Structure 1
Amino acid sequence: MQAPKRRGGRGKSSSMSRIPARLNVLLGIVILMLGALGWRLGTLQIAQGKQFKAEVNSSDSSIEQVNVQRGIIYDSTGKALVTNSGSQAITYTKPKNVTEGDMYKGANEVSKYVRVDTKQLSDANVNKYYIQDEHRAADLAKQAGITSAPGTDKYVSELTDYAKKNQNQVQLTSEQKNAAMIFQKMENAYALSTVYLKDKGVTQGEIADIGERQSKMPGVAVGLYYQREGSKNSDESLASLVGGVSKSGLPEERVNSLLQEGYSRDDTVGISGLEKQYEDTLKGTKRRIEINVNQQGNTTQKVLYGGKAGSNLHLTVNAKFQKDVQEILKSQMPGGLTQGAYAVVMNPKTGGVYAMGGVNRLNDGKLQDDALSTINRAEVVGSVVKPAMITNGLLHGTITPENNTIVDQPIRVAGTSVKASYFNPTGAQSIPLTASDALEVSSNSYVMQLMLQMAGQPYHAGMTLNGLNTNIFQTMREGFNRFGLGVKTGIDLPGETAGLRGDTDRSHIGNALDETFGQYDTYTTMQLAQYVSTIANGGYRMEPHVVQSIEERSDRSKVRQTETTIAPKSLGSVGWTPAQRQVIWDGMDKVVNGSSRFVTGKKLQDLKPGVYAKTGTAETFTNGQPTITSSLIAFAPNADVAMAIVVPGVSQSAELVNIPIAKEIYKAYWKDVESPKNVPGQNTN
C-alpha cells in the first residue's frame, strides 16, 4: 500500500509565522500599559507627592457626640422635681496627635487666665507636670544621680520613680498647682474627646480671656455645662424615687455594657430610681460635631446634628401628698424595735401611684427616707391576706356566696401547736361565722379550716396532716397571685422584689396553716397596694406606675408636646362573680362598720368619705425580741383611692398603729390630691 502523502511544509510555516505576530501585539500592549502606569506613579510620587503628603498631614478629623440636656421630671401637678442647671464652662478638645509637651504649654497658658479647684490633683500628675520643665527635670536628675540621656524613656522613667519616692522634693507653687490641675485634666482626656477644665464658677473675665486667646490654646474653648439638681419642690422623701445620675463618668460596675451601648466613658447616666429606669427617655439624642485639627494643632468644629434634649417625665405622684405621707409615717412610727413604716396610695382603676412613702430605722436609731423600700422590702403581713384566701375558697367552690358558714374554734392538729383566732384562744368564744363575718373579726380559725376543706381534709380535733398534699401551697399561692401577692407588680422602677416563699416540702406541711393568715410568705407594700386595688376595682390586677406621661421637648416651637401617655394596663383578672366579690366587699365593710364586739377596724368609722378595710398583725422577732408587723389595706368604695400600710417590728402595745396612720393619710389625700366634695354621695362635714 502506498503511504499517504504528507501535506507540504507550506501550511506549517504559514501557521508558525502567524503566532509570533500575535505575541508581538500582546507584548506591545503590555509594554504600553506598564509605561502608562509607571508614568502615573511617577507623577503621583514626584510631581504631586508633596501636595498629597501635605493634605494627609494637614488635618485629623473625627465625629464627636456631645451630651444634651436631660429631661425634666415633674410631679402630677406640674411642679419640677429635678431640673438642669446650665452654666458656662471652659472645655478642652484633645487633638489626636498632641504630645505631653504641647499640653504642658497649653495648660500653662490657660492657667494664666483660669483658676480651678486643685483638691483632686494627684501626686502622680504633680510629678509628671514637674518634670515637663527641662530645668526642673535636670535639677531633679542631678539630685537623684541619674545619668541617662535627657528626653529618653529611661530618663523619664527614672525621674518619675525618684519623684514618687521623694515627693517632698517635688514642690509646686499655688500657680503651678493650678496649671498642673489643668494639665491633669487635659492628660486624662481621650483623643478628640471634650472634657471640662472648669465647669463651676466660671467668671466673665475668664470667658473673655479665653475667647480672645483661643489661637494660643489649641483645643480650649468656652462651652456649656449642665448639672442635674433637685428643685425646691422636691422633698427628701422623693430622692430615692427620682434617683440619681453618675457624677464622674460611667459607673465602674456597668462601664463595659454601657460602652457597648454607645456611651462614652465621661457620659452622665442614670444610676438609680427613675433616672435609671427611664435613662433612654431622659438622656435625649447627642449632638454630632465634626472636629478637624490642622497641622498647627488648631481645631475647627462643624455641627452635623444639633441634638435633641431628653424628654420630660410627668409623674402620677403628688409631691405635696408624698411629703405629707412621709411626715405622717415618721410622726406615727413607734419607737423601740420598730424597723420602719411604709405606705402606698394608688388609683385602683389606673394603677397610678399617688404616693409611696418609706421610712427605715437604721442601727443607730436614725430615720432614713426610702420610698423604694415599698418595692424592695418584703415582710410577713398577717391577716390582710384573708380576703384573698376566702376568694380562693369561693373560686374553688369550697364555699359559695350562699353557703359559707364555718364555726370558729381552736385548731388542734397533731404535731403542731394550737392555733386559734385572737378572740377565741380556748374555745370559749366558738361561734359560727360567715365569710364576711370572718373578715370582720379576723378569724384565723375560719381560713385554716377553709384551707383544709379545699385540700379534701376537713378539720377535726386531733387530726394529722400526713394526708395533706403539699400541692395545697401551690393552690393557695396561685389564688394570692391573682391579686398580685407573691409576684412582682411590674411597677416602672428598678429593684423590685417578689418577696420570699417558705419551703413546701413534707417537713413544712404544718406551715400551710400559717400561710392562710399571712404568717409564712412575705410581701412588699406595693404588692399589698396592688392587691387592695384589685379588690376595689372589681377584680382587675392593674400594673402600678409612677410615670403618667412622657413629653418631647421641641427646641424649634418651644412647645412641649405629649409624646406618650401611660395607659392603664391590666395584668389579669381574679375571675370572680359579682356575688363572690360582694362577699369580700361586705366583709371589709364590716371591718370598719360592723357591730361585732370583736370588730378590728372600728376606729376608722369617722373617716369621711368612708372606707372599707382589713387589718393585719403578724408575729415576728426583732433582735431576738418578740414583735409584730402591723398592716392594713383599705379603699374608698366611691372614690379612686386605695391604700396599703406596713409597719414591721412594733411591740404588742403598738399593734394598732396602722389605724392612726391610715386615718392621717386619708385626710392628707383629700386635702392634697382631691376634694371629697367631688365624691358622689359623701358627707364631707
Structure 2
Amino acid sequence: MGRIKFAGGVLCVLAVGVLGYAFYLQVILGPRYAERARSQHEEHIELLPKRGKIYDRNGIAVVTDEKAASIYVLPQYVEDIPAAVHILSRYKLGTPTRLERYLRTRKRFFWLRRKFDYEKACALKAELEEASLANAINIQEEAKRIYPWDEVTGSMVGFVGTEHTGLAGIEYALDSLLAGEPGFAIYQKDALGRDHPSPAYPIQEAKNGCDITLTIDLDIQAIAYEELKAACERFAAKRGYCVVMDPQTGEILALVDHPDFAPTHYSRYARETWKVGAVADEFEPGSVYKPVVAAICIEDSLALRNEWIPTGSGIVVQGRKITDLHGRVGYTFDDVFVKSSNIGVAKLALRCGVRRFYEVSRLLGVGVPTGIKLPGEASGKIDRPRQMSELRLTNNAFGQGLSLTTLQLAAIYATFASGGVYNAPHIVKRIESDGRVIFKAKTKELRRVFSEQTAADVCEILQKVVDEGTGKAARIEDIQVCGKTGTAQKPVAGVGYSSSVSVVSFVGFLPRDDARILIVVVIDEPGLGRFAGEIAAPAFQHIMERILRLPVYRDIRMPPEEETEKLAQIQEREE
C-alpha cells in the first residue's frame, strides 16, 4: 500500500512538473517562439521614402536623386566562396584576396558596397541568381544623391551621408522635411527563403520627402562663385565670401564661400570647408560699418550734412590717439564717410553716445542671428553699454572691436537700400509636399530702423563713395551705384591688431533709388594688395556687370521703353 502511495506521489509530482513545463513553454515562452516561427515565414521590409529635391528659384535642380543599389552579404549562407569571389571581383567590388578574406572570416551581415551603379547592380543580381548566391549576396535598391553644381553650391547645399541623412548645409537644416517618413511591408517566405507579397499582410506606404525651392538663382550663384574664386586666387587670399541679395525682400540670390567643396566627394575635403562660411564665420568689418554712425547722426539730428568736421592731427580718447592714414585739416560731414576718416567718424560716434550706438547696432542685427536657420550660424558680437567705454565706442564706429558675418553685413546695407526697414534674410522660397504647396515665403519686415529720409541721405553718401571716394573701382557706367569699402586689420592674440594681416570688403547695391541687387564681397587675408578699393571693389564690379547682362536685370541698365526703341532702330537699319 505504501509503495502504491509513493508511486502515486511520484507520478503526481511528475504530472505537475510536466504541466508546469507545458505552462512555461506555452504561456511564458509562447510569444517568443511564436515570433521566431513568424520570422521564419515572414519578412518585414522597410519601404524607404524618396528624399525631396532641391530647386533654385527658376526650377533648376540644385540637388536630385538617381537610382543606385547597395550590396550586402550574409557570409554564413555563402556556400560557393570561389564562385562568389570570381563574380564580385569582376564588378570591381574588391580584390579577390580581400573578398575571400571577408567571406571566410566574417560571420554576420555586412555591407560590401553602398550607392553602387544601378545598371551594374542589376547585371550582378542576374549573375548571382544564376550561381545560386542571390540569398547570400543581396542587392538593395536605394537612392543616390546627385549634386550637379559641385563646388558652386557646396557649402550652401551640404550633403547626405550613406544613410541618406543630411549632414551639412540645407540638407542638414531641412532634413526633417526632405527625408520623408519610411513605411513597411510584410512579405511571406517560401521554403527557399524567397519573399512573396501577400494580400493577407499589411502594407504602409512610405511618405516621400518635401521638395524645396530656394530663393537662390543658379546663374547668379555661378557668377558669384567664379568671380570670388578669381579674386581669391588673384590676391592669394586665404578665404572669401559673397552674398547677393534682393534688398527689398530679403531673398538671398547667391551664397558663396571659397574655397568650397564638392558634396559628392565631401570626405576628400577638410571639415572646415563643410560649413556655410558666409553665415558661420565672424570678422571685424572695418570701415564698412561707418555708415551706421552717419545714419544715427542724421536720424537724431546730431549733425548737418554740410557741417565741417575738423580732424587735424587726430583725436585722443581715454589716452589713445586715433589718426587717419592721410592727414587733413577736416572734412564735411559727407566727406568723413566718402574719404573714410577714422578721426571724423570717432568724433561723430561720441555725439551718438554708447547707448544709442548699441541700440541701433542691435536693431541692425549685430549680436543676433538672422534666423536663416542654416547650420552653425554665428550671431556676431558687440559689447553691452555698461561694458562699452568711449574708446571702445570710437573703435566700434570704424568697425574694430565688434564682429559680424557676411550675411549680417548684407542685411545692414539692405536696410539702407530698402528705405530704412530691416527685412529678415531668407533662403527658402517654397516647400511642396506631393505637389501641394505647404509653405510660401513672404517678405518679413521685422522693424523700421531709420526713416525713409535718413535712408535716402545715407544712400546719397554711399553713391558719393563710389563716384568720388574709396569705391571708384566699383563704378558701373550709367547706373547710380551705392557702396562702401572696408579694410580691417585682424586682431592677433597677445599682439593686438596686425599691420600686415587684414580682411577687406565691399558692400554695394544698385540702382540707388529702387535698389534691386545688393552684393557683399569679403576677402580674408589677401597675400597681395592691401586695400578693399583694389581687391574687393573690383570683384563686386565684375559680379554686378555679369548679373546686369542676365535677362531679368537687363532693364536696370536700359529701361524697357529705351530697349524697345533701340530694337526698333536696329530692325529699321536691317530692313
State if a TM-score over 0.5 links the two structures.
Answer: yes
Residue 352 (structure 1) shift = 1.4
Q: Structure 1 residues 565, 120: CA separation in 2 closer, same or farther (over 3 Å shift)?
A: farther
Cα separation, 2, equivalents of 1:56 and 1:378 = 57
Aligned partner of 1:443 in structure 2 is 341
Q: CA deviation at 1:300?
A: 4.6
Report the Cα offset of residue 322 of structure 1.
Answer: 1.8
What is the aligned partner in structure 2 of residue 511 from structure 1? 392
Match in the other structure for 1:282 = 178
TM score, norm. by length of structure 2: 0.76
Structure 2 gaps, min length 5 = 1-15, 262-269, 567-575
**How far did 1:532 drift?**
0.9
Aligned to 1:383: 287
Q: Is the 8 A contact 1:59 1:292 kept in 2?
A: no
CA deviations over 1:356-387 (Å, ceiling 9, x no partner):
2222599xxx9x97782211222222111122
In 2, Cα distance between equivalents of 1:109 and 1:54: 36
Cross-structure match for 1:581 = 455
Q: CA deviation at 1:658?
A: 2.0
In structure 1, the partner of 2:410 is 529
Counterpart of 1:677 in structure 2 is 555
- The residue aligned with 2:432 is 551
Q: In the superposition, relative to structure 1, how do residues 500 and 65 fare at CA in structure 2: closer, same or farther (>3 Å)? A: same
Where does structure 1 lack aligned partners over 5 or more consecutive residues? Answer: 1-37, 95-99, 122-171, 248-266, 456-471, 554-559
Q: Confirm whether residue 351 of structure 1 aligns to residue 225 of structure 2.
A: no
Q: Select the residue among 243, 246, 253 that pairs with 2:161.
A: 246
Amino acid at match of 1:374: A
2:363 paired with 1:482: yes
Is 2:314–2:323's contact at 8 Å kept on the other side of the alignment? yes
Q: How much has 1:504 moved relative to structure 2?
A: 7.5
Residue 315 of structure 2: aligned partner: 412
Letter of the 1:383 counterpart: S
Quote the offset at 1:220 in angstroms.
6.4
Amino acid at match of 1:271: L
Q: Contact between 1:621 and 1:649, CA under 8 Å: does it hold in 2? A: no
Rg larger for: 1
Tell me the residue number matched to 1:187.
109
2:126 pairs with 1:208: yes
**Among residues 195, 206, 226, which one is paired with 1:307 in the alignment?**
206
Pair 1:562 & 2:437 matched:
yes
Q: Which residue of structure 2 aligns with residue 58 of structure 1?
A: 37
Change (3 A) 1:349 1:53: closer
Distance 1:64 1:566, change over 3 A: farther
Structure 1 residues 341 and 535: alpha-carbon distance in aligned structure 2, compared to 1, 3 A threshold: same
Alpha-carbon distance in structure 2 between the residues aligned to 1:196 and 1:236: 23
1:82 is aligned to: 63
Residue identity matched to 1:493: L
Cα drift, residue 112 of structure 1:
7.9
SS in 1 for 2:462: helix
Q: Deviations over 1:462-491 (max 9, x none)?
A: xxxxxxxxxx2x542321222223322222
Q: Structure 1 pair 322/628, CA: closer, same or farther in 2 (3 Å)? A: same
Find the counterpart in structure 1 of residue 571 from structure 2.
Answer: none
- Please give the alpha-carbon distance, in whole angstroms, between the structure 2 residues aligned to 1:81 and 1:564: 19
State the SS of the aligned residue for 2:545.
helix
Query: Residue 222 of structure 1: CA displacement?
Result: 5.0
CA distance 1:110–1:550, shift in 2 (3 Å): farther
Query: Aligned-pair distance for 1:530?
Result: 0.9
State the SS of the aligned residue for 1:451. helix
Q: Secondary structure at the match of 1:333?
A: helix
Cα deviation for residue 295 of structure 1 reads: 8.4
- Separation (CA, whole Å) in 1 of partners of 2:64 and 2:120: 20
State whether structure 2 residue 329 is matched by structure 1 residue 429.
yes
* C-alpha distance 87-580 of structure 1, shift in aligned 2 (>3 A): closer
CA-CA distance at 1:647 after TM superposition: 1.9
* 1:640-655 mapped onto 2 (5 Å cutoff): 640-650=516-526, 653-655=530-532
Change in CA separation of 1:483 and 1:56 when aligned onto 2, cut-off 3 Å: closer
Within 5 Å, give how 1:58-457 maps onto structure 2: 58-60=37-39, 63-87=44-68, 103-105=77-79, 176-177=100-101, 179-180=103-104, 186-188=108-110, 202=120, 204-210=122-128, 223-231=140-148, 234-247=149-162, 267-291=163-187, 299-301=195-197, 304-333=203-232, 338-360=237-259, 372-395=276-299, 397=300, 399=302, 406-413=309-316, 415-423=318-326, 425=327, 428-431=328-331, 433-434=332-333, 436-455=334-353
- Once residues 351 and 116 of structure 1 are traced to their aligned partners in structure 2, the CA distance between those partners, rounded to angstroms, is 54
Counterpart of 1:666, as a letter, is: M
- State whether residues 631 and 646 of structure 1, in contact with CA within 8 Å, keep that contact through their aligned partners in structure 2: yes
SS at match of 2:400: coil
Aligned-partner residue type, residue 451 of structure 2: T
Deviation at 1:413, TM superposition (A): 2.0
Cα distance between partner residues in 2 of 1:506 and 1:223: 61
Contact 1:532/1:644 (8 A) holds in 2: no
Per the alignment, in what secondary structure is the counterpart of residue 315 of structure 2? coil
Structure 1 CA distance for aligned equivalents of residues 418 and 310 of structure 2? 31
- C-alpha deviation, 1:454, in angstroms: 3.1
Partners of 2:83 and 2:131 within 8 A in 1: no
Identity among equivalent positions (%) equals 21
Partners of 1:543 and 1:507 in 2: CA distance: 27
Contact residue 59 and residue 293 of structure 1 kept, 8 A? no
Rounded to whole Å, the distance in 2 between the matches of 1:118 and 1:57 is 37
Please give the alpha-carbon distance, in whole angstroms, between the structure 2 residues aligned to 1:290 and 1:537.
Answer: 58
Count of equivalent residues: 519
CA distance in 2 between counterparts of 1:583 and 1:569 reads: 24
CA RMSD of aligned residues (A): 4.3
3-state SS in 1 of match to 2:255: strand
- Closer/same/farther in 2, CA of residues 335 and 416 from structure 1, 3 Å limit: farther
Provide the rounded CA distance (Å) in 2 between the counterparts of 1:86 and 1:567.
35
Go from structure 1 to structure 2 and tell me whether the alpha carbon gap of 1:65 and 1:322 turns closer, same or farther (over 3 Å shift): same
For residue 395 of structure 2, give the secondary structure of its aligned residue in structure 1: helix
TM-score of the superposed pair, with normalisation by structure 1: 0.65
SS in 2 for 1:674: helix
Following the alignment from structure 1 to structure 2, what is the Cα–Cα distance between the partners of residues 57 and 653?
Answer: 74
